[in-house]
């Protein structure tokens, strides 16, 4: 079997899967004509954007998705209002939220309030904006990936998420990809940027 590796800049309102749940859904099939044995490594929610890896390499999938390996994922997050220093510190220390009716506390994370907003293309449709409420951007780096975790963490400290873009997994980044763009990657390059060893080198 020939191993294939792709990076996708997943657009807003696209499911991280190849099957529709209702007829109006957009899926990964609408982004690119991927080979039939290619699947996403993890997922981004329908209302989230950014970096998604797709491959038929099961070893890579396991290493990236197994939480014991603590691969770092970086997100740029637009929130309502201006987060306080205390809120940013709470994100760094870990916050509690509920998943499936159980209390969960996040691992320590890297969180920075950005002084200058990032220059992403305008989202389609645009985010909901209330004229009397300012917005801000946070860079948040996690080593875990619970369901809708970034949104839950920001809500827990009082700052609802308006837009969420995953920009990086370890050293692997969106780079020059446009929204909806796809880049086929060399195995050695993607393994190196993810901090992995190929089987032939292990």
Q: Out of 30, 33, 37, 45, pick the active-site residue.
A: 45
Q: 160: number of CA atoms within 13 Å, CB side? A: 7
SS3 96: strand
HSE toward the beta carbon, residue 112, CA cutoff 13 A: 11
**How far apart are alpha carbons 117 and 120 in whole angstroms?**
9
Instruction: Give yes or no: 30 in active site.
Output: no
Q: How far is CA 169 from CA 42, 53, 54, 98, in A?
A: 11, 9, 13, 25
Asked if 4 and 182 touch (Cβ cutoff 8 Å), the reply is no
Active site residues: 45
């Amino acid at each position: 079997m020939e191993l294939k590796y792709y990076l996708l800049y997943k657009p807003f309102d696209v499911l991280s899967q190849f099957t529709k749940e209702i007829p109006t859904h957009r899926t990964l099939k609408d982004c690119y004509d991927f080979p039939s044995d290619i699947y996403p490594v993890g997922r981004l929610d329908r209302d989230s954007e950014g970096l998604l890896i797709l491959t038929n390499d099961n070893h890579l999938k396991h290493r990236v998705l197994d939480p014991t390996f603590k691969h770092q994922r970086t997100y740029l997050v637009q929130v309502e209002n201006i987060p306080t220093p205390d809120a940013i510190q709470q994100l760094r220390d870990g916050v509690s939220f509920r998943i499936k009716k159980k209390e969960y506390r996040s691992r320590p994370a890297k969180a920075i309030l950005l002084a200058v907003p990032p220059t992403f293309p305008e989202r389609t449709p645009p985010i909901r904006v209330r004229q009397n409420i300012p917005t801000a951007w946070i860079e948040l780096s996690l080593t875990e990936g619970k369901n809708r975790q970034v949104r839950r963490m920001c809500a827990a400290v009082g700052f609802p998420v308006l837009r969420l873009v995953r920009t990086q997994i370890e050293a692997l980044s969106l780079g020059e990809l446009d929204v909806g763009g796809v880049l086929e990657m060399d195995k050695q390059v993607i393994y190196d940027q993810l901090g992995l060893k190929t089987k032939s080198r292990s």
